[in-house]
Amino acid sequence: MSLIRLQKISRRYQMGTEIVHALREVTLDIQRGEYVAIMGPSGSGKSTLMNLLGCLDTPTGGTYELNGSHVSELDDNQLAEIRNREIGFIFQTFNLLPRSDALRNVELPLVYAGIPAGERRQIALAKLASVGLADRVHHKPNELSGGQRQRVAVARALVNKPSILLADEPTGNLDSKTGVEILALFEELSRQGHTIIVVTHEEAVARHSRRIIRIRDGLIASDEPVVK
Amino acid sequence: MNFLTELREGLLISWSAIRANKLRSVLTTLGIVIGILTVTLMGTAIEGLNRSFVNSISSISTDVLYVSRQNWLIMSRQDWLQSQKNPKVTLPEFEAVQRNMTLAAAVVPVANVNEPVKYHKRGSSSISVFGTTEQYPATSGLTVASGRFLSAAECDSGRPVCVIGFDMATNLFRNESPLGEKISIAGHEFEIVGVLEKEGESSYNDDNAAIVPLQQYLYTFQHVPEYTIQVKAKNIDQIDDTKEELRAVLRRFRHIAPGDPDNFAINQQDQFLELFHRVAGTIGLVGLFITGLALFVGGIGIMNIMFVSVAERTREIGVRKAIGAKRRTILLQFLIEAACICLIGGVIAILIAWPATLVMQKAMPATLSPMIVGTALLVSALTGVLSGFFPAWRAARMNPVDALRNE
Ligand SMILES: Nc1ncnc2c1ncn2[C@@H]1O[C@H](COP(=O)(O)OP(=O)(O)O)[C@@H](O)[C@H]1O
Ligand SMILES: [Mg+2]
């Protein structure tokens, strides 16, 4: 059984009188443990696809099966639960809460999952240590470098043991050296069995994955494994 | 996530948000401070007035009717002119009431005059002298602290004895017991047979009075005094029937034709209470209006600042939703923030109100009761929840994709 199964997924936006087709009947399967890159020019529908995969948005047509459940039929609260349990987000701009320290940021998904305070502190500390930030747990985001912030974001994305790691341009705001560090971290996570989906427009970033899906005008243009 | 943890998390988040915008939070809270301050002071003032009023009428029993020429409360010049035409209440009228009342437990005539008093070198230029019968304790509720009250025999024969109030006893007699001593009232000697217990704060107390047998009073001070007839009802539940019976007896005795108005007044404690509640009610209503207005303005300020807060934190809301916060969680977070800002306002208001009530205490027995503090805090939190609801609802309903895209 596929971890992700999209069937004829569409997403239309109404812009005044005009209808924008951001995705046109996309059909796609992703297995557990895959490391996939989604590529395409600006405006091709990458982010729209990411939002649908991450249950932040619901399709206007088609069906989405995630881990065996039909996501397109769920209501707002159920989607929030799925996002909490099944999905870890990593954003281009990190999206850490500025007033909270690293520990608190990583704890947050556990808070929403209802894990008791003592336990979630243990889990969060362990996750921060696993991304190499054991000595930065009480730093606020503005006291951390870009690479460290993205590591906090990775720790936060992983802390609930999600089925999928979704990263939208994770290296877009990093210099090339730290970008490589984050990609090495992804590689390590992939080896450990995590399912990773990365949206990028950089060929070099995409080459780190095992499979590249190219999108153009809301359609899949190509879907090929990476040959190394 | 259960409600309690959500509440705790909400408090934590609100606290850090409020701390991040200290000045703004405090300024916003001003309207609430003023509103809650009026609630607190108004409540304290009304409670204080109430207490001082109840104290001042505590010597007037609720089950006693007072027949006199004039109404206690004269509300207009016309009332006053009318009551001036009423004949004085006389002793035969007292006897008629005593004879004919079936619902009365005790009927007592009381005459009153102010006279100077002396004991050796000490004295007072004016004390109240009451002429009455041995029944007086029944209607007045007085108790004797030492010695005894006037006896029936003394009242019938009119012996020169007296019972004195507590303050008078302590003023005239320092170390010796007043019992058996003779004092001079307006130049006439009276032997003290009893001292009354202290009544205290009531405005109509007998602490500085001497009570003498009516016969002796008539002989010594006034031959034709103006009487009050005190009628104690057998049963407090029948006070209205007792009043009607009393009225009928007096009308019959005075030969008042049916349809003509009474030319006497039957007073009771209710009249004071009624008047007081009317005044207190008006004060309360005005207070409520001012409070309501201040709270309304304050609430709008809170709503405004909460909209700003929600707009500023759109991205934060998006992030929280992306990692699993439900609508309810976000709603609660902002509601708690609004309630907290208002609660801070409430606490500031109480901190201001506290010294203010200390000043008020100079005028009335006012205290900042836990009840009022509780109410004030509750009202402030409620204002926060009400005015924060709309902004919080907007935050909760936000689409996570749009919220995350917000710069
Ligand atoms: N909320 C929206 N409202 C209207 N049009 C949108 C919205 N989001 C995306 N679009 C349109 O959908 C198309 C795909 O957008 P997007 O998925 O963001 O592309 P990409 O991430 O590949 O640059 C674009 O034409 C964009 O203008
Ligand atoms: Mg995009």
Q: What residues of chain A lie within 8 A of the CB of B10, using their CB?
A: none
pLDDT at B19: 86
Contacts within 8 Å (CB) and 24+ apart, A126-130: A127/A155, A127/A156, A127/A158, A127/A159, A128/A102, A128/A103, A128/A152, A128/A155, A130/A155, A130/A158
Query: Would you say the CB of residue A11 lies under 6 angstroms from ligand 1?
Result: no
Indicate if B142 and B250 belong to the same structural domain.
Answer: yes
What is the A162 CA–ligand 2 centroid distance (Å)? 23
Indicate if B346 and B389 belong to the same structural domain.
Answer: yes
Range of weakest confidence among A11-25, A214-228, B29-43: B29-43
Residue with tokens 């470098």, as numbered in its chain: A145
Answer whether B369's CB lies under 8 Å from B324's CB.
no
Indicate if B44 and B77 belong to the same structural domain.
Answer: no
Indicate if B228 and B139 belong to the same structural domain.
Answer: yes
Indicate if B291 and B262 belong to the same structural domain.
Answer: no
pLDDT at A156: 96
Residue B90: name the closest of B69, B104, B62 by CA.
B69
Residue B324 has its nearest CB partner, among A57, A100, A113, at A113
Among B234, B267, B300, give the residue marking a domain's end. Answer: B267
Indicate if B121 and B252 belong to the same structural domain.
Answer: yes
Indicate if B358 and B297 belong to the same structural domain.
Answer: yes
- For B77-101, the three-class secondary structure string (H helix, E strand, C coil) is HHHHHHHHHCCCCCHHHHHHHHHHC
Report CB contact under 8 Å: A99, B327: no
Report CB contact under 8 Å: A108, B323: yes
Indicate if B234 and B96 belong to the same structural domain.
Answer: yes
Answer whether A37's CB lies under 8 Å from A213's CB.
yes
> What string of pLDDT tens digits covers the 407 residues of chain B?
678 878 888 888 888 888 888 888 888 888 889 888 888 888 888 888 888 887 777 667 788 899 998 888 777 888 888 888 889 999 999 999 999 999 999 999 999 999 999 888 888 888 899 999 999 988 888 888 899 999 988 888 888 999 999 888 888 888 888 898 899 999 899 999 999 988 765 656 678 899 999 999 999 999 889 999 999 998 888 888 999 999 999 999 999 989 888 889 999 888 778 888 888 888 888 888 888 888 898 899 999 999 999 999 999 999 999 999 999 999 999 999 999 999 999 999 999 999 998 888 888 888 888 988 998 899 999 999 999 999 999 999 999 999 998 86
Total number of domains constituting chain B: 2
Indicate if B307 and B231 belong to the same structural domain.
Answer: no
Q: Which ligand is nearest to the CA of A45?
A: 1
Domain hosting residue B389, numbered range: 3-56+273-405
B365: which residues sit within 8 A by CB, 6+ positions away? B48, B51, B52, B55
Indicate if B279 and B367 belong to the same structural domain.
Answer: yes
Residue with tokens 């992804």, as numbered in its chain: A186
Domain A34-44+75-225 has CATH 3.40.50.300: yes
Report CB contact under 8 Å: A95, B322: yes
| φ, ψ for residue B212, nearest 5 deg | -125, 160
Residue B20 has its nearest CB partner, among A81, A85, A99, at A99
Give the count of beta carbons closer than 10 Å to the beta carbon of residue B11: 16
Note the pTM of the prediction, 2 decimals: 0.75
Among B222, B240, B267, give the residue marking a domain's end. Answer: B267
Among B210, B243, B267, give the residue marking a domain's end. Answer: B267
Q: What residues of chain A lie within 8 A of the CB of B321, using their CB?
A: 56, 80, 83
Indicate if B295 and B385 belong to the same structural domain.
Answer: yes
Report CB contact under 8 Å: B327, A77: yes
Looking at the complex, report in whole angstroms how far the Cα of residue B397 sits from the nearest Cα belonging to chain A.
10
d(CA A54, CA A165): 9
Domain positions in chain A are: 34-44+75-225
Among chain A residues, the shortest Cα distance to B2 is held by: A114
Among chain A residues, the shortest Cα distance to B328 is held by: A77
**pLDDT tens-place string over residues A98-116:** 989 999 999 999 999 989 9
Q: Which two tokens stand for residue B352?
A: 């201001």
Indicate if B251 and B288 belong to the same structural domain.
Answer: no
